[in-house]
Amino acid sequence: MQFRKILITCLSVWMLVAYSIPMQNAQAETQVQTQAEEEMTTSISTISMTEARSMKVKFDFGEKVPLEDIEWTFGGKALEEWRAYDSNTKGYNGDPLITFAESPAYAGDSTVVEATLEFGLLYGTDNLAPRSIRVLYPDMIGTYDLSVMNKNTEEVLSKPITYNVYDEYLTYDQLKPELDRITEEANAKNGRFIEYKSLGQSYEGRDIHFITLAKNKKAVDKYLNQTLPEALENPASLLKKIEDGTIGDYQVPIWFNNIHPDEVEGVDAQVELFRKFSQEEEITFNVVNEQGEEEEITLNVTDALEHVIFLFNFTHNPDGRVHNTRANINGFDLNRDNAYQTQQESVVVTEEIAKWSPLSFLDMHGYVSDFLIEPCTPPHNPNFEFDLLIDNMLEQAHSMGQAGTANSDYDSYAIPYLDYENGWDDMTPAYTAIYSMLHGSLGHTIEVPGLNQQSLYAMVHAGLGATDFVLENKDELFSQQLEVFKRGVEGEDNRAVDQHLVNQQGEAIGRDRGDNENFFPDYYVLPMHDLQKNKKEAAEMVDYLIRNGVKVEQTTSKVEVDGVTYPEGTYIVPMKQAKRGFANAVLYQGDDISDWDNMYDAIVVNFPDLRGFTIEEIRTPDAFAGVGAEVKEAVYPTTEIAENKGHYVVKNVNNDAIKAVNELLKAGKEVGVATADGNGYGKGDYVIKRNDLLAIKDSYYLEVVALDRKANVEELPAAPKVAVAGSGVSRFVLQQLGFEITSVEEADVIVDDTGRFDAANVSVGKSYIGIGGRALSSVQQSGLLEGFSFERTNFYHEGLLKSVINTDSFLTSGYGAEEILYNTTGSWITGVPENAEVLAKVTDAEDYFVAGWWPGKEQVKGQVLALTTTVEESGANVTLFANDLVFRAHTEHSYRLLGNAILLDNVQEKEKGKGKEKGKKKN
């Protein structure tokens, strides 16, 4: 009987927990209850880490137990053991956390005990935003039993209490069940159209939850299959329909987004907005008008769904929500990856954004004390139609700020465009909101001030304010987006943009047109014949553009343009199209904005130079008219073996060559390297047996020629073991290239892009590859390399630099005598050790600087960017690059410099040894 009573009680506890906001990581074993839960009641069942709360408690043992014989515990710990976190001692041993605001007392002559507990702030603040706190609080989230025990009888009364960041906070595991529950309740209430799908999975296999909320499915289908296609293909037609009132009913999308999941309000505010828009008939909230007075606004949701479609991407980075990190599991900040799209989470989200081309895009972030709402400071990306976007972006920002402040404790907000001079720019499309602007969206990053309940209120109401703004101005806003598309379709370079493109002094400089009348070319051409230096990268660019909503065509016949003959099958990007701004933003060389004092982040995108494929600008109108057919996907080149030989040379001209060699070495196959030029190949190309090549050729695109001089081949040693002493990005790139990653102790080669050089490792024969200014600094400080020195302007400066390459080195195999290299730590080498081999230098020509933000850049002109040398005592090689080989996994053209330095480490050492022996004999 006692067992049954305990079982029933435990089941009742489970049901209460399941139907309250479910929490994870219970902190203590629940004490067995010996009385029904109804015998203890509390005025609240959730306490908050960001808000001090009082809780009235009542319980009844059925007799008047001496109060001193009642033991109070929370989560199995005595109340006095609960202490606030002390930042000095780094422990939970500060002030008492749980105290009695009203001491326990009997209510009159009854046996009911009443008391009021006061729960303080666990971290001494209502703002958990500081990183030092953000890494701590997840462990404290949970469900705890508040218990009282009659020490005389050991009878226990308990009540489960939720301990949360704030009331609405959800862990990732709670997110989907909560969305399902909201959907089920909404379906029962009103039958609005709600469609859930996973956009894809994170690297750890978690779903990226996405919900579409609309009036009905017909509204969604009409937008995606009629309204948007017409907007992109014939925007002038839709504009006329709006002007003359014949457009009829139509809906436009509002997209809510979160990409940094440890900026937690961005997830939870979306859940609250989804709840409101899916279930409620009317939503009433306050705004602060221009006179500083509060006024009430009521949204009729049924009416709103006649005009808008709501899109919720609850978090772009589900693994980050689980681990409470800004970055994904590979160490990438995804809000720097929306242009590059090297991470699979970014690929699927940006594809969906391009598919919808939302009218309004809100990316929910924290934490900036100003309660920041974009638009941004200059410099602005010249590929925006900024004059069409800015006025309504400002108005929408005010609508968000006025609603956010009226419904929270915050009394002000900041708009960088109006309130900052610089340093919060929208030059790079790496950020999600800025990426959306290239699709004609009113794109806003919103930064709430703190991690707490008030920020959640501010964020929810910012979303409501933006929605109200769209509803009040839908026709005007959609007309503005159509004008963006119309300029693209008609190839118009409107000079109204120029006034918004200014220098640091605020002087209008406009788009950099050079000697051209139009900033945008008529076409970009991606040749796929002999003019193309990397056919696979070119094909990947075609798929990238298509995935991002850009129209790509392929020639159906041979055509000659400006004296160049392009064969059938040449890829062309006609720039008279709605998304021409996005296409140009990733294909043009970029701008030199070095006159600016401050920039928020790196601004160079330039896929052709950074990924190493050939692209050509065509400025002849209608040059490919009638010979282009739209393609839906790229056709990739394949490995071709023309002759029947025993050995072949795989030319070291793309990253697949590195990947293929690593696969063979791991399988124990023999791989050689050419030590001299041959017929159609060069020093540093790889030599592979026919059968081994046949086994892997379909997995890679390899440029292959027959081996003609077997005598000039050096066998590579076993697969090298590589340690990463640097960033997660280095690890990701090396894994992409197929290298075996191991510990420093077991490694043959150490790769470092953060400045963790340890001379002791080199002294025992481990080669070192240092990338970027911080690595150069750590090597210089070690004093290991006599004569080595470097200089820098600032580690945050970046630039694309025309460079001269030493093509006689193994480490530069596959590169031309002139290349464009990327530097993102503002550094260069000033002192070259004796016997070191210089690999690359910045050209001393006047046009050495291609694009970027590098105040003081003139100092790098003509300077050394890379060198390699051998430490005689240990035989280890030290190879140093001032240029960045792995930056955000976007600099793929530079990967082979890294791959060569690893794979050919022993070969270059032997060659240097041979050179010394020849020198001795000559002497």
User: Phi and psi at residue 702, in whole multiples of 5°?
Assistant: -120, 140
Distance CA 249, CA 247 (A): 7
**3-class SS at 775?**
helix
- Give, in order, the Cα–Cα distances in Å from 533 to each of 525, 616, 817: 13, 12, 14
Please name the residue that has the structure tokens 């697969």.
719
Backbone dihedral angles phi then psi of residue 508, each to the nearest 5 degrees: -70, 125
CB 416, CB 374: distance < 8 Å: yes
**By C-alpha distance, which of 506, 495, 462, 501 is closest to 372?**
462
Q: Is 99 exposed, middle or buried (0-12, 13-18, 19+ CB in 10 A)?
A: middle
Torsion of CA 672, 673, 676, 678, to 10 degrees: 70
Q: What is the amino acid identity at position 389?
A: L
Residue with tokens 């041959």, as numbered in its chain: 678
Q: Which residue is associated with the tokens 């790496």?
A: 430
Q: Mind giving me the DSSP string for 779-810?
A: HHHHT-STT-EEEES-TT-EEEEEEEE-TTSG
SS3 691: helix
How far apart (Å, rounded) are the C-alpha atoms in residues 280 and 612? Answer: 53
Burial tier of 620 (Cβ tally within 10 Å: 0-12, 13-18, 19+)? exposed
- The partner residues of 616 in beta bridges, in order of sequence, read 525
Are residues 765 and 748 in contact, defined by beta-carbon separation less than 8 angstroms? no
Q: Where are the beta strands (DSSP E) in 308-463?
A: 308-313, 360-366, 372-373, 377-380, 425-426, 442-448
Our CA dihedral for 66, 67, 68, 71, rounded to 10 degrees, sits at: 120
Which of 433, 256, 430 has its CA nearest to residue 343? Answer: 430
Cβ neighbours of 86 (radius 10 Å): 14
Give the closest residue to 741 by CA, choosing from 802, 666, 641, 650: 666
Which residues are within 8 A (CB) of 180 and not within 5 positions of it... i.e. 6 or more apart? 196
Q: Are 318 and 400 in contact (CB under 8 A)?
A: no
Structure tokens at 96: 């008492």
Of 276, 269, 121, nearest to 192 by C-alpha is 276
Query: How far is residue 889's CA from residue 337's CA, in Å, rounded to a whole number?
Result: 9
72 — phi, psi (to 5°)?
-100, 135
Assign 370 to helix, strand or coil.
Answer: coil
Phi and psi torsions of 507, nearest 5°: -85, 135
Helices (H), 593-699: 607-611, 655-666, 690-696
Cβ(299)–Cβ(201) below 8 Å: no
**The two structure tokens encoding residue 383:** 């590929």
Helix, coil or strand: residue 437: helix
Who contacts 391 (Cβ-Cβ below 8 Å, separation ≥6)?
none
Cis amide prior to 367 (ω within 30 degrees): yes
Query: Terminal CA-to-CA distance of the chain, rounded, Å?
Result: 102
**Residue 186, both tokens:** 């909404």
Active-site residue numbers?
447
Sequence-distant (≥ 6) Cβ neighbours of residue 240 within 8 angstroms? none
Rounded distance between C-alpha atoms, residue 529 and residue 574, angstroms: 19
